[in-house]
């Protein structure tokens, strides 16, 4: 296996924590970002400062042509053995007043990206007869959430898509799993009343990006030899129905 891991949406939040954790575990990280050059440069400096390897890869995961153009030369040289599908967006609003653009942009970025990114990386894994695919869903994709019909639909779709890929390629030692974070302290939950929401969480707090990243690191490793098609909650015990 190659020691290369592609992490989408790696410049901030959970994606950044995953990139740092994988670099710590000896992976050369291909860190994808869309537009925040400053954060991407900061991540690269952090990884390399700790003795790791990081290549920044800029593309919009929702743009199939951009994904292909960016990944083709990298995959041709040395295919990635790990893929962390993390990039995602929100465009929240009640369903009746949700603009079509808000629906389509979230579905295309969150769910469409699974096809755009996973397919070219999976080809290399198939040839190598080894791979680990970890896809980031959400508690919203398990039980829905008021004001997030688009986001919940996209994240639920990721669970089903990952389970299908897990069944199709298990015999090639390609394992695909889902991680479902609950409320994690990132900019995506900025502005939410943490004190009130935490009352619903048995552990009475929001999670840390690093706590999600440790689960991703295990699922990305050779130690993960018989976990396939799983949906793993990282939510502090939050009930998901």
The residues that are catalytic are 151
Can you state the angle between helices 37-49 and 13-24, rounded to 10 degrees?
Answer: 20
- Alpha carbon dihedral 64, 67, 70, 72, in 10-degree steps, equals -80
Give the position of tokens 């030899």.
Answer: 225
| Alpha carbon separation from 31 to 135, 188, 198, 219 (Å, rounded) | 15, 19, 32, 18
Report the distance separating Cα 138 and Cα 158, nearest Å.
9
Residue 170: strand, helix, or coil: helix
**What is the DSSP code string of 86-143?**
---------GGG--HHHHHHHIIIIIIHHHHHHHHHHHHHHHHT-EEEEEE--THHHH
Please check whether residue 57 is in contact with residue 32, taking contact to mean a CB–CB distance below 8 angstroms.
yes
**What does the block give as tokens for 84?**
């962390």
Query: Per-residue DSSP letters for 38-62?
Result: HHHHHHHHHHHHTT-EEEEEE--TT
């Amino acid at each position: 296996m190659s020691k290369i891991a592609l992490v989408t949406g790696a410049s901030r939040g959970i994606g950044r924590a995953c990139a740092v954790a994988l670099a710590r575990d000896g992976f050369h990280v291909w860190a994808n970002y869309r537009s925040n050059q400053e954060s991407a440069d900061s991540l690269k400096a952090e990884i390399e400062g700790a003795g790791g390897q990081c290549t920044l890869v800029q593309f919009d995961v929702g743009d199939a042509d951009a994904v292909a153009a960016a990944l083709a030369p990298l995959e041709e040289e040395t295919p990635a053995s790990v893929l962390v599908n993390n990039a995602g967006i929100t465009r929240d609003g009640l369903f009746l007043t949700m603009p079509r653009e808000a629906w389509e942009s979230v579905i295309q970025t969150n769910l469409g990206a699974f096809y755009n990114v996973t397919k070219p990386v999976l080809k290399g894994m198939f040839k190598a007869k080894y791979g680990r695919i970890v896809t980031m869903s959400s508690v919203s994709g398990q039980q829905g959430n008021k004001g997030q019909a688009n986001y919940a639909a996209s994240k639920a779709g990721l669970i089903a898509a990952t389970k299908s890929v897990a069944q199709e390629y298990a015999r090639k030692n390609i394992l695909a799993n889902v991680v479902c974070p609950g409320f994690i302290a990132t900019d995506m939950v900025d502005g939410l009343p943490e004190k009130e929401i935490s009352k619903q969480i048995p552990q009475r707090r929001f999670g840390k990006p690093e706590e999600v990243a440790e689960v991703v690191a295990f699922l990305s490793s050779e130690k993960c030899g018989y976990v396939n098609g799983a949906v793993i909650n990282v939510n502090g015990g939050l009930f998901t129905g």
